[in-house]
Amino acid sequence: MPSKMPLVLALAGLTASSLFLTACSSTSDEASRQTGAPPSTGRAPAHWSYEEVGGPEAWGGLSEDYDLCASGTSQSPIDLPRTVPDLSDDVSIGTRVAPVTEADTGHASQVEVGADGSTVRAGSRDFELLQMHAHTPAEHTVDGIAPVAEMHLVHTSDDGQLLVLSVLVDEGSASEPWQTFLDTATGPDGTTSTIDVASLLPSSLQYWSYDGSLTTPPCSEGVSWVVFSEPVTLSTEQIARLDAVHDHNARPTQGLNDRVVRGGDAMLRSE
C-alpha cells in the first residue's frame, strides 16, 4: 500500500457567503441547515432548471450571482480517468446512524441529516454531513461514460468549507440501505427515518479527488470532491423511482483546465 499524504484542500480565499447556495430570506436559517447556505441577503435567486430554457448552458447568464457557471475555471462535474491515480490522499470517514428528514429542493430528491450524523476528516479539518441528494444520470463521468445515478453526501466544516463524498450508481441488485434514503427523500413532506451512513458506501473506498465547485447555481468554486471509484447498485425499480421525481437533473461535465485529479483510499473510523 503506498504511503498516504494529507488531502490538500484548495479552498483558501473563499468566504462562506461565496461558497454556498443562496436561500430565500424568509427561510434562511432552515435553508442554511439543509443546503449549507448562509442567511440570504434578501435578493431572490434567479430561476434555473435542467431544461432547455434556463438549463445548464444558460445558467451563467441568468444572474450576476451565477457568473461562475460560465466563467469559472474549476467547475464540477468533470470526466474522471478510468484508473485511480497513485493513492496519495488521506481521508477518514466517521459514521453513525443518522436521523434524516425529507428536504426535496425542487431540483433533487434530498434528505437533511440531523446533528452528529457523520464526519469526514481530510488533513487537519473535520467536515460534518449536512445533507444527501441524488442525480440521475450521474454528473461525473468515468472515461466518458456516465453511470445511471450519483449520490452526493454534502459536508461542511466549522469555517464554512465544503467537501462532497460522491457515490456512483450502476443498475443491478436492489440496495436496502439506499431504499431507506429513497423512501425518505421521495416521501411526503417531512418524512423522517434513520440511516446507517456506512452502509451507503461501496465496499472499496478508493477514490478520485479534485478541487471543484457546486454543480448547481451559483457554481461557487473551492469545493473538495471525493468520488468513490467502486459504484453501488440500485435496482431498475429504485432508479425509476428517482427518475419519476426528478428526471435528468445532471449538469454536463466541465473542463479540467489546469487541475490535477488525485487518488486515495479512505478509512472508516469509529466515533
- Residues annotated as part of the active site: 107
The residue assigned the cell 497513485 is: 86
Angstrom distance (rounded) from CA 47 to CA 56: 12
R_g of the chain, CA atoms, integer Å: 17
**184 phi and psi angles, rounded to 5 deg:** -80, -50
Give the Cβ contact number of residue 45 at 10 Å.
Answer: 17
Omega of the bond leading into 218 within 30 degrees of 0 (cis): yes
Q: What is the identity of the amino acid at 251?
A: R
Q: Give residues with Cβ within 8 angstroms of 245, minimum separation 6.
A: 104, 109, 186
Q: Give residues with Cβ within 8 angstroms of 183, minimum separation 6.
A: 191, 193
Reading phi first (left if > 0) and then psi (alpha if -120 to 50, else beta), residue 147 is in beta
The residue assigned the cell 480565499 is: 13
